[in-house]
Amino acid sequence: MNAKSASMLLSILFCSLLSLIFIGIDIPLPSSVLFLLILTNAIFAFLSIFMQNAIIGLFEYNYHTEKQNILSLFNKYTTLAFFGLNYFAQSALNRLPFLINKLFSLIFFAFLFIQWILIMHIYNG
């Protein structure tokens, strides 16, 4: 098993184990992974409203690595999982004028937050 495969497997295992904390609020395991990923992307989307360039820079710093060992690739894949969706949305929004950028960033955060609430509502009625 090469380093990429091992680090990808470790990243999936880490996300799955971390999402087990949501079993206490009656969200089953496959859905709790999605719940966790939407939650972390929503948190970074909220932070991106105020400091968009810093969040984009943080993603690029963690994702673009030259090292090919297991730990650096594990960091790369977990970074992609936890705030990859927000990075790609914010990097597209970053090219817009300031007020439109902030408006759409707020709408994107609201969209992710609503999706998170909907998953919570589906399982907890």
- pLDDT (tens digit, 9 = 90+) per residue, 52-86? 999 999 999 988 877 788 888 999 999 999 989 99
Whether the pLDDT of residue 109 is over 70: the answer is yes
pLDDT at 14: 94
Of the candidates 11, 38, 33, which has an alpha carbon nearest to the alpha carbon of residue 22? 33
What total number of domains does the chain contain?
Answer: 1
Sequence-separated (6 or more) residues with CB below 8 Å from residue 41: 82, 83, 84, 85, 86, 112
In the chain, helix, strand, coil percent, each to 5? 85, 0, 15
Q: Is the pTM of this model over 0.95?
A: no
Average pLDDT over residues 96-119: 94
**Domain of 100, in residue numbers:** 3-20+28-124
Which structure tokens are listed for 52? 């968009």
Mean pLDDT for the chain overall = 90
pLDDT at 25: 83
